[in-house]
Amino acid sequence: MLVLSVLLLDGLMPRFAVPQAARAGWGLALVLALAMACLPPGSALMAGSPVGPVALLRVDALSLPFVMMLSVAGLASGARGPVLAGAALTVGTGNPVLFCIGAAGLLPLLRAEGAVPRGMVAWGSAGVAVATALLSGSGGWRLIVLPLPALLAASALMGLSLRPLSGARHGAPAGVAHLAGLAVGLCLAVRMLVDWPVEPVGAMWGGGVVVAGLVLALTGCWRARGARDAGRVVAGLLNGWGGMALVLVGLVVTGRADDLPLLALGAFRGLMLLVGGVGLAVLAAILTLAQMAEAAGSLGLARVGGLAALMPKASAMLALALAGVCALPPSGGFAVAWLLVQSLLALPRAEGLAGAMPLLAVLAGVGLVCGLLILAAVRLLACLVLGRPRTPRAAGATDPASGRLAVPAACLGGAVSVVLVPGVWLWLTRGAGWAAAGLKGPIPSGARPDWLALAAPGGGGVLYPAGIVALLALAGALVLALSRLGNTVPSRPAPAWMEGAPPSPPWMPFGEPVAQAGPAQFAGVLAWGMGRRAVSRRIRRVVRWGRDGGRRVSVLMEVGVAWVSRHAMGLVLLWLAVAALLRIWGHSR
Amino acid sequence: MMSWVVIVVAGSALLAVHLVLMVACAPLVRGGLVAGVARVGGGEGLPVLARWRLILSCARRHGVRAAGGVEIVPAMALAVALAACLLVPSFALGLPGAGLSDLLTVAGLLVLARLLPLLAALEPGGARAGLAAAGDTAALVVMQAVFPLTVAAAVMATGHGGIDALLTRLREPDMGSGRVSAMLMALALLLAGPDIGPGDEARAAERMVDLGGRGRAAMELARDLMLMAWITLAGDLAWPGGLAMLQEGGLLPAAMSLPGAIVAWLVRTGVICAGIVVARVVVMGSVRGTRGRLVLALLFATLAVVVLFADQEGV
């Protein structure tokens, strides 16, 4: 915590230390977190109950995965802003009041980086404050109300919203701040819905969180599908995974409420693989995109293209990172989606067909989210890496020096190792998993992570990511051997067939820029039923009404928050006076 | 008790036979489908062996490529399709690698094998190939909604998501509604997975306009293997009784049951091909491509679950 505090100071006052000191500090924080993760969860350092200020500085098991992930992000990016250090300090504390202050303080910083929509800062701060106030007591009604503000605060921190648009007004290109927001939002959701409540939150709310997460994931993926530049596509992908993470949190809540520790543990393992595998792949994509933007200028999807030939190393890195984000085997995204589907199938269901129908709808929604993730990633690859350059600026791009790609490559290597040998990462985060599943005392052998396998919580099967990779390697070797044995001849390069069109004139050396598949072509099939004019007009009208109503409410909210903050002192005095009068009145009766 | 060396050698030999049969039959199946659709639709008959001839002649030629990545992507697609074929049982259960064969994994691998050629089509930057690939990508991703539903139906019917355990359970005599559910699952997978829609052949030809030589051969063989894997998986689900089972207490199927199992697999494949030809000509000819297939696939996958509960509530 002390190291993180110094890093925060460094972020707030950039002249405080030399730039290399920030990376060294993040490295130290990562080493300390790893050392704490290697300790047995029952040791004195981890599970003791210290008193006084030491208790505030204690990093418990549930914080460690998030602190490790943020330390890796800080180490890889070398960012010196206060966002990462503030986020790490926030997730590092297990005290609800300190967490609330940290999360509320982080929201304006995230807004400054563009990771949080403008209207959500006030809503998020209000949500954090109300949820913390609700956690201070133990009344039954508090747990019924609690998930609503907690969900609001978590989605505000993760930058999730129900707006399907992704223009310049709605969000910024993905950066490390988006990852920090995701980590803090997830930690907040897990803490407030699973860890801090004295009694488990009701299973009904678990279902509510699942549905809300699914809707937010669909909206995030829709934003990624329609975004106009590479950074915003990655931000949309991250939002999609944030929604999926909320679905997993909902499953953990249901597992705790119905006293199914293996279901809660399985869903939490999916969450950890999401943070480790997908989070590191997204980090690699963000860092690679920064290198590409340096070399090729604007990364607007209608302006670049053809980087596979110009920047082969960076393009391969981006393709691998995006493969890790998609839910296709053997990537980390697939492992998370597999665990999510198996956890959903392990849910206790109501008897009969009516009990199965909501589950089927959620499963179809999860499948659709996976499909939209693939579509957004393929669209990004097709417009950025494949095809021909669309502008002279993009045509002048060259690969950066190999050393500069070492950091994203290391992040990618970390993501691959987290997925191929999931046992290591799950062993490092085992304490958090047991705490989230509510396992205390002697841990059953079924709750200990396997090195190479991911087991379905309902016993429906086992996934071996390393086995799939070995199988693919075997098939690849077979293809290579067949190619050698068949004595096939390598192809010779030739210009692409341009439908018989004459060569491009000298003033248009890149060909007609609109004569190749662009970003708009990937969404054509998905606009089914929206093409009819009357229907689309009606839908637009409803959307406009909703948007105007939301805008009015948000303006009122902002006015209210501003008025309250202007008259805060007077209101506190008024509240004291009213409370004193009520007390006196009560005593006098 | 057989020693483990014998088991490994015999299992690997059976796996090799399975793979060789799949690779040998895959172009025949697509060739048969194209010829059947042409013949039943009133066109001129095509030879069934035309696909094999095309693949072999492409592999022998000195090909061209319009982009660098096109040299490796066809080989990758072929490798992924081969890996998926290794996981789908054709005539025997319990072969080596069966522990990896999960319904969701196989569907994911087959989607990946279908996605890689689309990237290869987008790389040269040609307009028609790019448009065809973009349309195919969008059509492919909406089908993702079907696969979790089929996994749900499988787990609800049998309690297993792994293909071997699922098929073993389906062979047991008490699986009344489970078998009907599995047949509906097979229909849903056939509608959602393979590229057998009305305009798919033409779009595939457009996507490969810049590709020749061994890359073209690999891409065509990968397409055929994908279709073969989907048809075999659907056939296994529809009629698991034809598969050779493990011996009691042993780790390998009985040698005597293998020829019958291979014949059963060929019969299943032939029947499904005939069904696809009839569906293409009679039903799908008028339905507008992807939307109709998606709705039908979702319907069949949901019905697969409904059938399970209908039986329970009827009893």
Q: Residue A413's pLDDT is what?
A: 96
Q: What is the ipTM of this complex?
A: 0.93
Give B63→chain A minimum CA distance, Å: 4
Q: Which residues of A touch B143 (CB under 8 A)?
A: 371
Instruction: Provide the pLDDT for residue A533.
Output: 64
Contact across the interface for A378 and B142, Cβ inside 8 Å: no
Separation of CA A552 from chain center: 30
Query: How many CA atoms lie within 13 Å of A147's alpha carbon, on the beta-carbon side?
Result: 23
Q: How would you write the pLDDT of chain A (589 residues) with one tens digit per residue?
A: 667 776 666 666 665 567 777 888 888 888 888 888 888 765 544 444 555 555 666 678 889 999 999 999 999 998 777 899 899 989 988 888 889 999 999 999 999 888 888 778 888 999 999 998 888 877 778 888 899 999 999 999 999 988 777 666 668 899 999 999 999 999 999 999 998 888 888 888 899 999 999 999 999 999 998 898 999 999 999 999 999 999 999 999 999 999 898 899 999 999 999 999 999 999 999 999 999 999 998 899 988 888 998 999 999 999 999 999 999 988 999 999 999 999 999 988 777 777 888 999 999 999 999 999 999 999 999 999 998 888 888 888 999 988 889 999 999 999 999 999 999 999 999 989 888 888 877 777 777 888 899 988 887 789 999 999 999 999 999 999 998 888 888 888 877 776 676 666 666 556 565 578 888 888 765 665 455 566 677 888 898 899 899 889 988 988 888 888 778 778 888 888 888 888 888 777 6
So what's the pLDDT on residue A506? 63
Contact A462 B147 (CB under 8 A): no
Would you state the pLDDT for residue A45? 47
* Predicted confidence (pLDDT) per residue in A21-71, tens digit: 788 888 888 888 888 888 876 554 444 455 555 566 667 888 999 999 999
Task: Give which of B105, B111, B189, B313 to mutate to test A binding, by max A Cβ within 10 Å.
Answer: B105
User: Do the Cβ atoms of A189 and A150 come closer than 8 Å?
Assistant: yes
Q: What percent of chain B has pLDDT over 90?
A: 45
The whole domain housing B59 covers: 4-314
**Chain B CA closest to residue A390:** B125
Of the candidates A472, A486, A523, the beta carbon closest to that of B79 is on A472
Model confidence pLDDT, tens digit, residues B199-213 = 888 889 988 888 888
Question: Which pLDDT does position A50 carry in this prediction?
Answer: 52
Contact flag A356-B309 (C-beta cutoff 8 Å): yes
Name the residue of chain B whose CA is nearest to A453's CA. B100
Collect all residues with Cβ–Cβ distance below 8 Å to A555 and sequence separation of at least 6.
Answer: none
Report CB contact under 8 Å: A468, B133: no
Judge: A367–B128 Cβ closer than 8 Å, yes or no. Answer: no
Q: Determine the residue of chain B that is closest to A225 in CA distance.
A: B138
- Where helices occur in A13-160 by DSSP H, the ranges are 19-38, 44-47, 53-57, 64-77, 82-92, 96-112, 118-135, 140-145, 147-157
A-B CB pairs within 8 A amount to 252
Q: B213 to chain A nearest CA, in Å? A: 6
Q: How many domains is chain B built from?
A: 1
In the structure, how many helices (H) and strands (E) does chain B have?
12, 1
- A378: its two tokens: 């393929």
Chain centroid to CA A100: 20
Q: Are B148 and A366 in contact (CB < 8 Å)? A: yes
Measured between alpha carbons, how far is A103 from A111 in angstroms, rounded to an integer? 12
Shortest CA gap A256–chain B (Å): 23
Interface contact A371-B140, CB threshold 8 A:
yes
Test A387 with B130 for CB contact under 8 angstroms: yes
Judged by CB atoms closer than 8 Å, whether chains meet at B109 and A329 is answered as yes
Q: Which residues contact B201 (CB under 8 A, 6 or more apart)?
A: B34
Helix, strand or coil, per DSSP, at residue A175: coil
Q: Least CB-CB distance to A491: which of B65, B102, B118?
A: B65
CB contact under 8 A, B65 and A494: yes
Matching residue, tokens 């004595």: A487
Q: Which residues of A touch B122 (CB under 8 A)?
A: 381-382, 386-387, 517
Which residue in the set B105, B130, B302 is minimally distant from A360, CB to CB? Answer: B302
Residue of A360, A489, A522 with shortest CB distance to B62: A489
Tell me the HSE value of B209 on the side-chain side, using a 13 A CA sphere: 21
Give the pLDDT confidence score for residue B142 in this predicted structure: 86
- Cβ B149 vs Cβ B302: under 8 Å: yes
- The Cα angle at residue B314 between residues B311 and B315, in degrees rounded to 5: 90
The long-range contacts involving B127-130, CB below 8 angstroms and separated by at least 24 positions, are: B127/A498, B127/A499, B127/A515, B127/A516, B127/A517, B128/A499, B128/B206, B128/B209, B129/B206, B129/B207, B129/B208, B129/B209, B129/B210, B130/A382, B130/A387, B130/A516, B130/A517, B130/A521
CB crowding B12-25: b at 16 or more within 10 Å, else e: eebbebbbebbbeb
Chain A residue whose CA is closest to B78:
A479
When CB atoms are compared, the residue of A329, A371, A496 closest to B210 is: A496
In contact, A311 and A292? CB cutoff 8 Å: yes
What are the pLDDT digits (tens) for B100-157? 989 999 999 999 999 999 999 998 888 888 888 988 898 888 889 999 999 999 999 9
Of A370, A472, A491, nearest to B63 by CB-CB distance is: A491
pLDDT at residue B315, rounded to an integer: 44
Judge whether B76 and A476 are in contact, CB under 8 Å.
yes
Residue B297 in this model has a pLDDT that exceeds 50: yes
Predicted confidence (pLDDT) per residue in B223-257, tens digit = 999 999 999 999 999 999 888 887 766 667 777 88
Nearest to B62 among A368, A478, A492 (CB): A492
